[in-house]
């Protein structure tokens, strides 16, 4: 199942966005989560943030860290 989340924060007159695209295997196989970090319209980092089993826990852990760093969840679908 594919799930997407967008986080954003604004600081020092610039907007940062994290786009999370998670491909979670509901049959117990490997999960893959891609994280794209942009500042304004430029991509700063784009890569696989996680690969393996336990992707949902990885997402919960990162959500806590990202929100602590000032990012706000602005879009999620389907919800997880």
Q: Is residue 80 part of a domain?
A: no
**1-57 confidence digits (pLDDT tens):** 899 999 999 988 899 999 999 999 989 899 999 999 999 989 999 999 999 999 999
Neighbours of 18 (CB within 10 A): 21
Q: Is residue 9 situated within a structural domain? A: yes
Host domain of residue 60: 2-75
Report the number of distinct structural domains present in the chain: 1
**pLDDT of 25:** 93
pLDDT at site 80: 44
- Structure confidence at residue 15 (pLDDT): 96
Mean pLDDT of 51-65: 95
Task: Give all strands (DSSP E) within the chain, no chain letters.
Answer: 2-11, 14-23, 31-39, 42-52, 72-77
């Amino acid at each position: 199942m594919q799930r997407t989340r967008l986080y954003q924060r604004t600081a020092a007159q610039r907007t940062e966005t994290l786009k999370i695209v998670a491909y979670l295997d509901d049959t117990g196989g490997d999960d893959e989560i891609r994280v794209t970090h942009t500042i304004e319209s430029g991509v700063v980092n784009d890569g696989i943030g996680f690969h393996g089993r336990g992707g949902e826990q990885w997402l919960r852990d990162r959500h806590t860290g990202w929100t602590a760093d000032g990012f706000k969840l602005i879009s999620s679908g389907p919800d997880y």
